[in-house]
Chain A
């Protein structure tokens, strides 16, 4: 066959194959069925509501303890304040030279540190600032690892869903959720409310409390495009110094293992409330407009003309909304005296840290060797059955809550609540009726550090 002939053959083959493919490509579109919400029913042992700091740990723990576990999260990823809120700086896991919170929360933090090639601060040296023992982590990595651990533990993660109704019937909870095109009825033995807002507790009819004046939320960001050391600070109003200093890029490149600065910037959002879509939308609007105004202002200062936004978190992180009225309320005095109860299941270490009016922070540091603790009763709403909370909505007065709300403490609570829920589910009872030593034993088996009553 001559060259021309061969070429013609190849050409005709091409036309032939196009002729075969073209009809299917050009006729690929189909009329879609009308959008319809898919209804589903699921039965599980433990339902965790909220995949934030406490909920992620609770779900992993419940799954690892062998319980069928469902985790519903209204957003698109796990981690909450640590990831979506941008406070990728969890703490505090060590106090007075000892580790006080371990378990799954610490495992996640360590995995982040290792996989990111980072190093831990030297916990053996008492820091001059408490936050120097917080651990910087790579937030996207945390998101990925948290999800991986949940899935490995067999947790059924359901993103974009939120509860609309909850009923207690025949020793089981029936929770109805709505999501993008989903409407799910979840029947479970135990619920752990990790919404941070005591949303499910309130929905279930248990009393929740709220301060008249709550602490502001924070919208977290990073900016660059300036050299802090070259700035003539005398020409920049003092209230902007902190925001410029905390965002120095150099602060991200540590020469030691401890941060010299808190490694992110934030603007306050007074009254930030994540309880409903509307209130959280308002908090996001406020945070974003405050931040935009800040950027415009900063760019008017000498040396800051090229200020750039490097990162802005997708939503305003919230410090304080609702707390449950629990079987026991942890008081300020309990916290600062480091009271350990017979049913204490996890530790907490942070200064009393109340952000006031966006202008100042009331801080009260714990005395040497004092470590606070969280009793099981503070995780159980009064009059409830088969119901626990974990995270910042723990039953506590305002000052105690201002310290309990931090990430490591919430992780510890999440793990403790999950173990209590799993054992209650296994024995067909309510968490308050599970022998406390059984809970402690299982917690220890899973690496948690359980406070020892004096």
Chain B
């Protein structure tokens, strides 16, 4: 069943009281644990949910929760699966929540349900917290190995599953809730399994500059990087998103700055405003960010006259490497005005030969006819 069919068949729209399914945010009776949301809904009363996917094998439905303005908030799935221990199986009923980026958001147990360990002991609140933290860690190796390989199964308990978690090795106990290896393993693989990618894919289809901007406000850095990695899917940046991106570049987080600059496409730089705003950060940026900004501007379809003029005034203050990079930018964009040439020619006097050589090389390759500059070049060449 495809998404439109599902939507036609079971669309649940309107202002529903959301206590039944998303009450993990508000209902104090149920056991619920969560991480920081990518997008926090202000008011549950104004939230709606729709089924966006039905698993053809399990029949499980994936729900999208959104605001009345159709801003996606999170996804959830009611999971029913068997967890076995000591040769006994019991049904696990749990609702798992994902942020719109696919990041784990939390879990909730229905009224009266609880998680238990191999010795039938219910989870303590610390163990629920621990499970919540483990599920939030995508780097755990639980997806790379089979459960059998994860633990060493004692012969006497060959058929038991969570039962062996009592015998987990020191390494395994670092990545599972002690006494509940199978429960941890099963839930972790649900959280980080195909649904995660499905959720991210569904959000990708709804991406707009506004939604990316919203995700960039997430407290979680993985969400922000997720959004930055998808900026290239946006044809044009709006002023709000542009402003957010420039704020990030001006910030002190190297990786985010790097990600923003990488995310900006050549077509985005058709905007004079973005070009100029990007270069306005140059002066205060550190060495490697400066280089990234210039490299990005190399990709621009053109270089604005204002940017050329501003950069020209900086030439005498740059180190040799930075100067060389800016001059390459000029060459790339065929900047060939006399004013620029004269500014560069001034640098021929610099006592640092590495710096003056950058100027010489640029001017020499520009085939300049201005007599004054030609004379300066001749002098430089014979003096070197």
Residue of chain A at shortest CB distance from B225: A122
Residue of chain A at shortest CB distance from B317: A445
Chain B 275-305, CB-CB to A under 8 Å as 1, else 0, gives: 0000000000011100110010000000000
Q: B353 to chain A: which residues have CB within 8 Å? A: 66, 154
Q: Does A447 contact B (CB under 8 A)?
A: yes
B254 contacts A154, CB within 8 Å? no
Q: A445 to chain B: which residues have CB within 8 Å? A: 319
Q: How far is the CB of A342 from chain B (nearest CB, A)?
A: 23
Q: Does B380 contact A (CB under 8 A)?
A: no
A66 contacts B351, CB within 8 Å? yes
Q: Does A278 contact B (CB under 8 A)?
A: no
B352 contacts A65, CB within 8 Å? yes
Q: Which of A66, A128, A447 contacts B139 (CB 8 A)?
A: A128
- Whether A153 contacts B354 in the complex (CB less than 8 A), given A110-B288, A120-B255, comes out as yes
Q: How far is the CA of A123 from the CA of B291 in the complex (A)?
A: 19
Among A104-156, those with CB < 8 Å from B are: 106-107, 110, 114, 119-120, 122-125, 128, 152-154
Q: Which of A64, A122, A152, A447 contacts B288 (CB 8 A)?
A: A447
- Whether A98 contacts B354 in the complex (CB less than 8 A), given A107-B288, A114-B295, A446-B319, comes out as no
Among B231-287, those with CB < 8 Å from A are: 252-256, 258, 262, 286-287
A66 contacts B352, CB within 8 Å? yes
Q: Does B355 contact A (CB under 8 A)?
A: yes
Q: B222 to chain A: which residues have CB within 8 Å? A: 122, 125
Q: A64 to chain B: which residues have CB within 8 Å? A: 319-321, 354
Q: How far is the CB of B194 from chain A (nearest CB, A)?
A: 15
Q: B321 to chain A: which residues have CB within 8 Å? A: 64, 107, 446-447
A124 contacts B354, CB within 8 Å? no
Chain B 308-339, CB-CB to A under 8 Å as 1, else 0, gives: 00000000000111001000000000000000
Q: Which of A94, A102, A119 contacts B287 (CB 8 A)?
A: A102
Q: How far is the CB of B256 from chain A (nearest CB, A)?
A: 7
Q: Does B357 contact A (CB under 8 A)?
A: yes
Among B160-219, those with CB < 8 Å from A are: none
Q: A103 to chain B: which residues have CB within 8 Å? A: 287
Chain A 60-96, CB-CB to B under 8 Å as 1, else 0, gives: 0001111000000000000000000000000000100
Does more than half of chain A's interface fall in helix, strand or loop, or is it mixed?
Answer: loop
Q: Does B15 contact A (CB under 8 A)?
A: no
Q: Does B368 contact A (CB under 8 A)?
A: no
Q: A447 to chain B: which residues have CB within 8 Å? A: 286-288, 319, 321
Q: B376 to chain A: which residues have CB within 8 Å? A: none
Q: How far is the CA of A67 from the CA of B324 in the complex (A)?
A: 18
- The count of chain B contact residues (Cβ–Cβ below 8 Å) is 27
Q: How far is the CA of A128 from the CA of B140 in the complex (A)?
A: 10
Q: How far is the CB of A115 from chain B (nearest CB, A)?
A: 11
Q: B3 to chain A: which residues have CB within 8 Å? A: none
Interface residues on A, range: 20 to 34
A97 contacts B352, CB within 8 Å? no
A120 contacts B258, CB within 8 Å? yes
B291 contacts A107, CB within 8 Å? yes
Residue of chain A at shortest CB distance from B320: A64
Q: How far is the CB of B36 from chain A (nearest CB, A)?
A: 14
Q: How far is the CB of A353 from chain B (nearest CB, A)?
A: 21
Q: Does A99 contact B (CB under 8 A)?
A: yes
Q: A122 to chain B: which residues have CB within 8 Å? A: 221-222, 225, 255
Q: A63 to chain B: which residues have CB within 8 Å? A: 354
Q: How far is the CB of B339 from chain A (nearest CB, A)?
A: 26
Q: Which of A102, A119, A125, A153 contacts B221 (CB 8 A)?
A: A125
Q: B286 to chain A: which residues have CB within 8 Å? A: 99, 102, 447
A124 contacts B139, CB within 8 Å? no
Q: A94 to chain B: which residues have CB within 8 Å? A: 254
Q: How far is the CA of A99 from the CA of B252 in the complex (A)?
A: 9
B287 contacts A107, CB within 8 Å? yes
Q: Which of B258, B295, B354 contacts A65 (CB 8 A)?
A: B354
Q: A128 to chain B: which residues have CB within 8 Å? A: 139
Q: How far is the CB of A122 from chain B (nearest CB, A)?
A: 5
- Whether A123 contacts B287 in the complex (CB less than 8 A), given A65-B354, A154-B353, comes out as no
Q: How far is the CA of A66 from the CA of B295 in the complex (A)?
A: 25
A97 contacts B287, CB within 8 Å? no
Q: B357 to chain A: which residues have CB within 8 Å? A: 154
B354 contacts A110, CB within 8 Å? no
A446 contacts B287, CB within 8 Å? yes
Q: How far is the CA of A110 from the CA of B295 in the complex (A)?
A: 12
Q: B324 to chain A: which residues have CB within 8 Å? A: 152
Chain B CB within 10 A, most for which of A103, A124, A153: A124
Q: How far is the CB of B105 from chain A (nearest CB, A)?
A: 18
B355 contacts A66, CB within 8 Å? yes
Q: How far is the CB of B355 from chain A (nearest CB, A)?
A: 7
- Whether A154 contacts B221 in the complex (CB less than 8 A), given A98-B252, A447-B286, comes out as no
Chain A 399-432, CB-CB to B under 8 Å as 1, else 0, gives: 0000000000000000000000000000000000
A110 contacts B225, CB within 8 Å? no
Q: B292 to chain A: which residues have CB within 8 Å? A: 110
Q: How far is the CA of A38 from the CA of B342 in the complex (A)?
A: 45
Q: How far is the CB of A261 from chain B (nearest CB, A)?
A: 11
A154 contacts B354, CB within 8 Å? yes
Residue of chain A at shortest CB distance from B262: A119
Q: How far is the CA of A125 from the CA of B258 in the complex (A)?
A: 14
Q: How far is the CB of A390 from chain B (nearest CB, A)?
A: 19
Q: How far is the CB of B312 from chain A (nearest CB, A)?
A: 20
Q: How far is the CA of A64 from the CA of B321 in the complex (A)?
A: 8
Q: Which of B254, B262, B352 contacts A123 (CB 8 A)?
A: B254
Q: A97 to chain B: which residues have CB within 8 Å? A: 253
Q: Which of B253, B262, B288, B295 contacts A124 (CB 8 A)?
A: B253
Q: How far is the CB of A246 from chain B (nearest CB, A)?
A: 15
Residue of chain A at shortest CB distance from B145: A229
Q: How far is the CA of A287 from the CA of B71 in the complex (A)?
A: 61
Q: How far is the CA of A70 from the CA of B282 in the complex (A)?
A: 33
Q: A446 to chain B: which residues have CB within 8 Å? A: 287, 319, 321
Q: How far is the CA of A102 from the CA of B254 in the complex (A)?
A: 11
Known contacts A99-B254, A102-B287, A447-B287; 11 further A-B pairs (Cβ under 8 A): A64-B321, A66-B353, A102-B286, A107-B321, A114-B295, A124-B221, A125-B221, A128-B139, A154-B353, A446-B321, A447-B321
The 12 sampled A-B contact pairs (Cβ below 8 Å) are: A63-B354, A65-B352, A102-B287, A103-B287, A107-B288, A107-B321, A114-B295, A122-B221, A124-B221, A152-B324, A154-B353, A447-B321
The 4 A-B residue pairs whose C-beta atoms are closest, nearest first, are: A447-B287, A66-B352, A124-B255, A123-B255
